[in-house]
Amino acid sequence: MRVKIVLLDRCIGCKSCEIACAVEHSQTKQLFSSIFEQPRPQKRIEVAPSPGLTTFPVTCRQCDPAPCVDVCPAGAISREADVNLIDPDRCRRCWMCLIVCPFSIIQVDRSSSKALKCDDCIERKREGREPACVEACPTKALRIEETEDMTLFKIERMKVADTVRKVSRGEPVERVPVSIKIWRDFGEEITKLKEEVR
Amino acid sequence: MNNRKGLTIDKLTEQLIEKAQREGIEIVWDRFEAQQPQCGFGQLGVCCRNCNMGPCRIDPFGDGPKKGVCGATADTIVARNLARMIAAGAAAHSDHGRDIVETLHLTALGETQGYEITDEAKLKRLCEEYGIGTEGKDKQKLAEELALEIMKEYGMIKGELQFAQRAPEKRKDLWGKIGVLPRGVDREIVEVMHRTNIGVDTDYVNILLHGVRTALSDGWGGSMIATELSDVLFGTPKPVESTVNLGVLREDMVNIVLHGHNPILAEMIVKAASDSKLIELAKQNGAKGINVVGMCCTGNEVLMRKGIPVAGNFLNQELAIITGAVEAMVVDYQCIMPSLPDVAKCYHTKVISTSPKAKFPGAEHIEFDARRAVDIAKRIVRIAVENFPNRNKERVMIPGKPVKLVAGFSVEAILKALGGTPKPLIDAIKDGKIRGAAGVVGCNNPKIPQDYGHVELVKELIKNNVLVVVTGCGAIATAKAGLLLPEAAELAGDGLKEIAKALGIPPVLHMGSCVDNTRILVLLAELAKALNVDISDLPVAGAAPEWMSEKAVSIGTYVISSGVFTVLGTMPPVLGSLAVTNLLTRDLEGVIGANFAVEPDPVKAAGLMVDYIESKRKALGLT
C-alpha cells in the first residue's frame, strides 16, 4: 500500500503544500488562473505552528479503522483504495465527522457547505502520480512510501513520534543541518522568553 | 487571538490591546499570529526572486536543489538578499535626508513658508567643514551654498563623502584598504541593485563588502545629512523635559498625533497648533485646547527640539487610535502601518497622509509642500479641530498617566553637560567608574514582547556601570519605563550612579530618532580621536534588541563597519548560508574590527556586551 509520511524535522513552514493542494483541487489546476476562480479553491492541508520554529503539515492520515467513516450516519464517507473519501451527495451536514476527527482536518466546503477533506489526490493516484502536496514539498518533509510491509511504515512513524517527543522536550533532533538547528534553537529561546514575560 | 498576556510590558498598551479585542478590532499582534508559521525559506534567506526564471529556493537540508536556476548558491542568494535589505534601509534614510536638503535649499532661496535657519553656528561649522568660505556671507547665502554642496554628496561628481572624513584616521585608512570608502549616497544604493541583478556579482564576500560601503554611505552620508541639516533648520537639541506613553493623549483636548520620521511638516504643525484662532475654534467645538503629540521617530524629532510629548513607539500606533481620543493622525513616511485607515474607520479619527512618496488607501491625502507649509499645517490642524465634535466620548479610554522623561542629548548637549570637552567622560571610563558605553537602538517587533528587549537590556547595562545612549523606538521604550530620568541613576551601578548624579543627567541618554544614530557615530569619533585610537578599540557596544525594519539592517551594518560590536535580538534572514553567517558573526571582526551576535534574551545579550566592553578595556590597559 501507499502511505504518506511526514518528517517533522524537515518541515520549515513554507506552505508550498497548502498552495499546491488548493491548486490541485481547483477547476483549472493552474496557479495563475485558479486564484481567480469562483468558488475559490480550498486547501485540504494546513501547516500548523508549534512552539519555537517547528511546524507540521496537518493532513488526513487516512486512518483505518477511521472514526469519520464509522460515525457518519449518512454513510457518506467510505474507504476506497486506502483512502477515506467523502461523497458530497450523501453528506447531510451533521458534522459528526468533524467532531470525531482526531486531527481536526475535516472542514466545511465554502461553496456547498458540505464536509470536505483530503482525498489523497485520488485522481493523480490513478495516474500513478504523487499527491500534489508531496510533489510540492521542497524539503521532502512529505513523502510517499509504497510498501506492503507495514513494519517499515511503523518504523517511520516511530521516528516521527520520537522527533515530536524530542522537539517538545527541547532535545536535539538528529539529521538536521547546523543552520536549521541554530534557527530552531533561536525559536525555542524566543518562545521561552515570551512565556517568561507572560 | 486567545492569549493576550505577555505581548507587551507596557501596562497602558496592554489595556488598549484588551479594548481592541473587546471591540473586535484587528491589530498587529492578531496579524502576526495569523501569519504563523512564517515561511522557513524566507526566514533563512534562501528564497530568490531577483529574476523571472525563478522564484528559486535552496533546500537547507541539502537533498533538494542546491542552486537556483541561474546557478546561484545559498551563499550568493543570502548575500544578495541581505545587500538589498541594506540598500532599502540606506535609501529610506538618505531620501529622508534629501527632503531636508531640498527644504534647506528652498529656505535659503526664500521660497518656503515658515522656515528659517535656526542654528546659524552649526550652519557655519558645516560650511567650514565643506570648505565653503563664510566671510561676508549672510546665513541665507551660506545655507544655499551648503545645500548645493551637500546635494553633490548624492551623485558621482565628488567620489567621496565629506562626513566620512569625521571618522578617526585609523578607521578611514582601514575603509580605504578594504575598498569600502563610500563614494556617493545614491551611487552605492544603485550599485547594490546592479550587483544583485541576475548574473552580476556572485561572490558573497564581494557582495557583502559593497553592502558595507552602502551602509557607510547611509551612516556617514544620508542619515548624517538628515540629522545635521535638521539641526540647522530647526535647532540642535538641548536637554528638554517632557512626558511619554499613551497617557499623553488628553480627554478634554483635540488630539493630533504626528507619526512617521521627518520633522519638516511636524515642526509646522506644532507651530500651527499654537495659533490663537485655531485654539479659539477648538474651544468653540467644546475642547479645552489642542494637544499635539508624537509617535515613532517624527515623535522623537519634535520631542528632542520642542519637548512635544510622545504617545508611543511602533507597536503603539494602532492603539493610539483605539483610545478613541485621536482627532487626526498625521503621517509622513516609514514605519506607518498600512492598517491605520482600517483601524481609524472604527472611530472618528482621520488618518492624513502628507508625502507624495507614501499614500494610504482609506486615508485623506493632503500633500505637503514647503512653499506653503504654514497654510497646509493650519489646514490639517483645522481638520482635526473640526473633527472633535465627532468623537464618541463613551468609547474613549485613555488608560493611565504619562511618565516623565528628559531627552535632547545631541552630541553638542552631551559635551556641554560634560563642561565642553569629552575629557570628564574619558576620565570616568579610565577610572572604571563607567566601564564603557552602549547604544541601544532600533524598532519594536511582535516577535519580542514589546519593549521587553530594550528595557531589560538597558537596565542590565546600567547596573553594570555601562552608560547607555538610546534612539528611535528603543528610546521611547526606555522612556516609558522611566529610565530617561536623572532619578533612574538609582538603578545604575555605584560608579555610573555617582557620575550621573554629579552631572545631573539620566544614566540613559536619548540621542534622537533613528537617523540620529549618526550622533552616536560622531560622539564615538570624538572619543576615539581624543584617545588617539580607532573606534573599534573603544570599550563600547551596540544592540538592536527588537529590530524589524530594513533601515535597522543598514544601521547595524554601518555600526559594525564603524567598529562597534552589535547584538541583534531578532534573527536576520541569513542562516541559510553558513558562510555568510560565519562572516557576519565571526570573521568580520578580522576585517573591520567588529561583528554581529544574535541573542534574544536581553540579560544574556547584556552579558555579551559587558564581556566585550571588558575585553576592550583590558586591551587598552584599563582595569
pLDDT digits (tens, 9 = 90+) for B435-483: 999 999 999 999 999 999 999 999 999 999 999 999 999 999 999 999 9
> What distance in Å separates residue A197's CA from the closest CA in chain B?
5
**DSSP secondary structure code for residue B357 in this structure:** T
**CB of B488 closer than 8 Å to CB of B580:** no
8 A C-beta contact, residue B466 and residue B616:
no
Residue pairs spanning A and B at CB distance below 8 A: 89
Chain A: residue whose CA lies nearest to B574: A179
Contact B281, B246 (CB under 8 A): no
Confidence label for B36 from pLDDT (cuts 50, 70 and 90): confident
Mean pLDDT score, B596-619: 97
Q: Say if the Cβ atoms of B9 and A182 lie within 8 Å.
A: no
* The predicted structure's pLDDT at residue B623: 86
- A-chain residues within 8 Å CB-CB of B598? 186
pLDDT of residue A150: 65
Smallest CA–CA separation between A15 and chain B, in Å? 7
Averaged pLDDT for residues B296-320: 98
Q: Which of A82-91, A174-183, B150-159, B306-315 has the lowest mean pLDDT?
A: A174-183
pLDDT of A31 over the 90 cut: no
Mean pLDDT of chain B: 97
> Is pLDDT above 70 for B610?
yes
CA distances in angstroms from B380 to B375, B462, B488, listed in the order given = 9, 42, 38
pLDDT at A144: 87
Strands A115-116 and A107-108, by their bridges, are antiparallel
Alpha carbons A171 and A174: distance in angstroms, whole number: 10
Angle subtended at Cα B340 by Cα B339 and Cα B343, rounded to the nearest 5 degrees: 90
8 A C-beta contact, residue B609 and residue B461:
yes
Is a pLDDT exceeding 90 seen at residue A84?
yes
Using DSSP bridges, classify how beta strands B328-331 and B254-260 pair: parallel, antiparallel or unpaired: parallel
- Say which residue the cell 521604550 belongs to: B477
What percent of chain B has pLDDT above 90? 96
Reference B28, options B339, B328, B243, B306; nearest CA is B339
Q: Is B597 on the interface with A (CB under 8 A)?
A: no
DSSP letter string over B120-136? HHHHHHHHHHTT---TT
Confidence of residue B1 (pLDDT cuts 50, 70, 90): low
Contacts of B582 by beta carbon, 8 Å cutoff, 6+ apart: none
Best CA proximity match to B325, nearest among B233, B248, B263, B266: B248
Contacts of A194 in chain B (CB under 8 A): 6, 448-449
Query: To which H or E segment does residue A196 belong?
Result: helix A178-197
Instruction: Judge whether residue A9 has pLDDT over 90.
Output: no
Q: Looking at the complex, does the CB of residue A47 fall below 8 Å from at least one CB of chain B?
A: yes
> Rounded CA gap, B524 and B474, in Å?
19
Sign of the dihedral through C-alpha B53, B59, B60, B66: negative
CB B537 within 8 A of CB B528: yes
Distance between CA atoms of B472 and B26, rounded to whole angstroms? 25
**Measured between CB atoms, does A49 come within 8 Å of chain B?**
yes
Using a CB–CB cutoff of 8 Å, tell me whether A182 touches chain B.
yes
Distance of residue B450 Cα from the nearest chain A Cα, in angstroms:
10
Q: Which residue of A has its CA nearest to B598?
A: A186
The one-letter amino acid code at B463 reads: K
Which DSSP category does B393 fall into?
G
Q: What is the DSSP letter of B258?
A: E
Q: How confident is the model at residue A128 (pLDDT cuts 50, 70, 90)?
A: confident
The answer to whether B249 and B326 are in contact (CB under 8 A) is yes
Interface membership of A55 toward B (CB under 8 Å)? yes
- pLDDT tens-digit readout, B60-111: 888 789 999 999 999 999 999 999 999 999 999 999 999 999 999 999 999 9
Nearest CA in chain A to B37: A49
Lowest mean pLDDT among A28-32, A53-57, B50-54: A53-57
Cis, bond preceding B37 (omega within 30 deg of 0): yes
Average pLDDT, stretch B356-377? Answer: 97
Say yes or no: B504 contacts chain A, CB-CB below 8 A: no
Write the secondary structure of B295-356 as one string of H (helix), E (strand) and C (coil).
EHHHHHHHHHHHCCCEEECHHHHHHHHHCCCCCEEEECCCCCCCCHHHHHHCCCCEEEECEC
- Read off the pTM: 0.92
pLDDT > 90? residue A160: no
Residue B576: which of A14, A179, A197 has the nearest Cβ?
A179
pLDDT value for A115: 96
Longest dimension (CA), chain B: 73
Q: Which of A49, A140, A193 sits opposite B37 (nearest CB)?
A: A49
Whether B457 contacts chain A with CB within 8 A: no
Instruction: Enumerate the residues of chain B whose CB falls inside 8 A of the CB of residue A189.
Output: 600-601
Cβ atoms of residues B473 and B569 within 8 Å? no
- Give the pLDDT score at B296: 97
For chain A, the average pLDDT equals 87
CB contact under 8 A, A186 and B571: yes
Where are the alpha helices (H) located in B119-203, listed in sequence order?
120-129, 139-151, 169-177, 185-195
Considering chain B, what percentage of its residues have pLDDT values greater than 70?
Answer: 100
Task: Please say if the pLDDT value at position B414 is more than 70.
Answer: yes
Mean pLDDT of B540-550: 98
Segment (H or E) for B224? helix B223-234
**Would you list the DSSP string of B473-536?**
HHHHHHHHTT-SSGGGGGGS-HHHHHHHHHHT--SEEEEESSTTHHHHHHHHHHHHHHHTS-GG
B474 with B442: CB under 8 angstroms? yes
Peptide bond into A73 cis (omega under 30): no
At B434, is the secondary structure helix, strand, or coil? coil
Bridge partners (DSSP) listed for residue A6: A142
**How does residue B250 score in pLDDT terms, banded at 50, 70 and 90?**
very high
- A176: closest CA among B134, B60, B542? B60
SS3 A86: strand
Q: CB of B436 within 8 Å of any CB in chain A? A: no
